[in-house]
């Protein structure tokens, strides 16, 4: 102990300095070589710890995504959130440029490996869903709205890829992926929701009783679409939309996926919603007035739309869980920054035990949600229950952690400049879109229905 002064060494209140002989880090160094190898570790932060657990190609993906988010999204995040409400079809030069940069960086077409898409081939030894989860988390951590602006694109392309139809992929997906890679700001959008029918489009029981709002009528070698879609992310600026419509005179079981191109006669974005958050991404109301779609612009075949829709949601709900983890991480990081910056009674808040407890809880909840997503995505098999569990569990966590961040910042949380309130506003949408969390809970039970009926005493009667 000679020459060692505990008070002089930097430490947080209530903790020993890391060089104190009684601290684990210092104590481990006195172990023998074998024990030391078993017990010691680099004192890197949680993000680095988790990144190092990934295989090398995914580590690179995560580091690249974070670097892109910090370089390209962060400078735009606050100003875009406060920008005036965008009129339908209008894209600011800054956002246009961002989309171009994301395309050139390979972020928009990475659902397929190069040269078909923009993903690095080495990554494709691992599930595409896991890749998407890693990417969206990093973008969402910096800005939910900008993340959605870029990521709704993957959702729009998904029915084409899931159709498994090489011709459709070659004609509709690959040209856009190539254009994106060249830096052209062209995006996909996914259009299912109709006025008065949010959950009905996401849940079979509701769909059974729902009268479709967008209807396709046979006309020569194609179909005429009529009706409206609402809340379509990026629907007003998209180049190519996967639009789901019922066939005339039939119910939702006839849903068919049609490709509609921007500028098609009769197709227009009527309005963009004023939203609580996610403001960099538009939620558009789209009008279809006798929009002609030729037969060869049908994805997956007639009456296959409901299946494609459900399969798309089963794929996309896991990345929705991941983007929620990004919100939770963003809120946690903001809270740490504030606790280290804000002083009371002459010392930063991080010295106070109640602040440390709160931060540790936020860190734990975020890491737990991430573990669920990564574990589910890494062993991905198409399963509705797993996707829904990831979605509602992580999005509820995100909102709870954002609330904890606001509580930690106290009345300073109200200020836009401090960031926490924006995370809450952005995160709140995730409990609603891609099926409300109530619908997603019921989707878990639906998925196990047959097993549950078999266990039920009156299963036979049912």
Partner 1 sequence: MSAVAEDVLPMQALWDEVARFAAHSLEPAVARHEHPLTPERQRDIRDVAAEMGLVSADAGDPSGLALWECDASADNRRLSIGALRRLGRINMGFAWQLHQSALARWLERRLRFDAPGWNVVALQGRYGLARGSLSRYLRGHAGAEDLALLQDYFDADSAPGLLVHCAPDWSGVWLPRLGAERSLQWQYHPRERLRVSALPHSHGLDELCSYAVQRGEADTPTSALAPDASRDVMTELCALNTLGLLAVALGGVEHAHALALDYAATRRQGAQLIREHAAVQLLLGQGRQAIALTEQMLDSACGQAGDSPLALARLYRSRAALQPMLCRGSSDALQVFGGMGYMRDTGLEKILRDQNCLRVIHGTPLELQLAATALEEDAS
| Positions that interact with partner 1 (CB under 8 A) | 82, 193, 196, 198-200, 203, 205-206, 208-209, 230-231, 273-277, 283, 342-346, 349, 352, 354, 358, 399, 403, 406-417, 421, 424-425, 428-429, 431-433, 436-438, 441-442
Which C-beta is closer to partner 1: that of 215 or that of 359? 359
**Minimum separation from the CB atom of position 89 to partner 1 (A):** 19
**Minimum separation from the CB atom of position 353 to partner 1 (A):** 10
**Minimum separation from the CB atom of position 415 to partner 1 (A):** 5
CB 116 within 8 A of CB 174: yes
The residue with tokens 């900008």 is 146
Residue 65 host element (H or E): helix 56-68
**Minimum separation from the CB atom of position 70 to partner 1 (A):** 23
* Angle, helix 384-409 to helix 420-430, in steps of 10 degrees: 160
**Minimum separation from the CB atom of position 279 to partner 1 (A):** 10
The number of angstroms, rounded, from the C-alpha of 364 to the middle of its chain's C-alpha atoms is: 20
C-alpha span between 376 and 391 (Å, rounded): 11
How many angstroms separate the Cα of 444 from the Cα of each of 101, 176, 385?
Answer: 38, 35, 4
Name the CA dihedral angle for 64, 70, 75, 76, rounded to a multiple of 10 degrees: 60
How many angstroms separate the Cα of 38 from the Cα of each of 21, 33, 41, 46?
Answer: 19, 9, 9, 19
CB 367 within 8 A of CB 357: no
Which C-beta is closer to partner 1: that of 320 or that of 406? 406
Which C-beta is closer to partner 1: that of 64 or that of 446? 446
**Minimum separation from the CB atom of position 98 to partner 1 (A):** 22
CB 193 within 8 A of CB 206: no
* CA nearest to 147, candidates 446, 398, 341: 398
C-alpha span between 44 and 191 (Å, rounded): 43
What are the tokens at 453? 């009926």
Helices (H), 105-170: 128-142, 144-162, 166-168
**Minimum separation from the CB atom of position 416 to partner 1 (A):** 4
Which C-beta is closer to partner 1: that of 71 or that of 343? 343
**Minimum separation from the CB atom of position 414 to partner 1 (A):** 5
Which C-beta is closer to partner 1: that of 83 or that of 385? 83
Which C-beta is closer to partner 1: that of 23 or that of 436? 436
Which C-beta is closer to partner 1: that of 38 or that of 276? 276
Backbone φ and ψ of 257, nearest 5°: -95, 120
Partners of 291 in the β-ladder = 225
Which C-beta is closer to partner 1: that of 256 or that of 358? 358
State the sign of the Cα–Cα–Cα–Cα dihedral 445, 449, 453, 455.
negative
Backbone φ and ψ of 302, nearest 5°: -60, 145
Which C-beta is closer to partner 1: that of 334 or that of 406? 406
CB 118 within 8 A of CB 180: yes
**Minimum separation from the CB atom of position 404 to partner 1 (A):** 9
**Minimum separation from the CB atom of position 428 to partner 1 (A):** 7
What are the tokens at 27? 């104590």
Which C-beta is closer to partner 1: that of 168 or that of 339? 339
* CA nearest to 203, candidates 192, 215, 195: 192
* CA nearest to 60, candidates 106, 100, 104: 106
């Amino acid at each position: 102990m000679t020459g060692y002064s505990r008070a002089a060494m930097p430490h947080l209140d209530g903790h020993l300095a890391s060089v104190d002989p009684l601290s684990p880090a210092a104590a481990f160094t006195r172990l023998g070589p074998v024990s030391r190898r078993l017990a010691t570790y680099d004192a890197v932060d949680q993000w680095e710890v988790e990144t190092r657990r990934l295989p090398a190609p995914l580590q690179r993906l995560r580091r690249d995504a974070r670097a892109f988010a910090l370089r390209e999204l962060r400078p735009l995040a606050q100003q875009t959130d406060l920008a005036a409400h965008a009129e339908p079809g209008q894209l600011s030069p800054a956002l246009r440029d961002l989309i171009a940069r994301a395309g050139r960086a390979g972020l928009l077409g990475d659902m397929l490996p190069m040269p078909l898409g923009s993903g690095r081939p080495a990554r494709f030894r691992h599930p595409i869903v896991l890749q998407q989860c890693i990417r969206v988390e990093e973008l969402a951590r910096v800005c939910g709205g900008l993340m959605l602006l870029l990521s709704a694109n993957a959702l729009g392309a998904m029915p084409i890829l899931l159709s498994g139809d090489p011709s459709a992929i070659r004609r509709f997906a690959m040209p856009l992926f190539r254009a994106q890679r060249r830096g052209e700001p062209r995006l996909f959008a996914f259009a299912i929701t109709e006025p008065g029918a949010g959950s009905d489009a996401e849940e079979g029981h509701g769909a059974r009783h729902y009268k479709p709002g967008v209807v396709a009528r046979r006309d020569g070698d194609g179909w005429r679409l009529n009706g409206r879609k609402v809340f379509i992310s990026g629907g007003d600026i998209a180049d190519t939309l996967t639009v789901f419509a019922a066939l005339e005179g039939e119910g939702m079981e006839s849903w068919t996926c049609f490709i509609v191109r921007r500028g098609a006669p009769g197709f227009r974005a009527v309005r963009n919603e004023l939203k609580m958050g996610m403001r960099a991404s538009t939620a558009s109301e789209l009008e279809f007035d006798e929009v002609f779609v030729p037969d060869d612009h049908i994805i997956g075949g007639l009456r296959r739309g409901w299946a494609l829709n459900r399969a798309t949601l089963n794929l996309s709900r896991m990345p929705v869980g991941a983007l929620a983890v990004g919100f939770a991480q963003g809120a946690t990081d903001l809270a740490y920054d504030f606790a280290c910056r804000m002083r009371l009674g002459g010392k930063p808040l991080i010295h106070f035990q109640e602040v440390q407890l709160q931060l540790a809880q936020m860190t734990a909840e975020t890491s737990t949600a991430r573990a669920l997503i990564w574990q589910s995505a890494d062993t991905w098999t198409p399963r509705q229950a797993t996707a829904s569990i990831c979605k509602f569990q992580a999005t509820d966590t995100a909102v709870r952690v954002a609330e904890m961040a606001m509580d930690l910042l106290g009345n300073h949380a109200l200020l836009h400049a401090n960031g926490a309130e924006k995370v809450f506003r952005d995160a709140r949408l995730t409990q609603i879109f891609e099926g409300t969390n109530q619908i997603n809970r019921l989707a878990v039970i639906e998925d196990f229905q047959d097993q549950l009926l078999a266990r039920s005493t009156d299963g036979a009667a049912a």
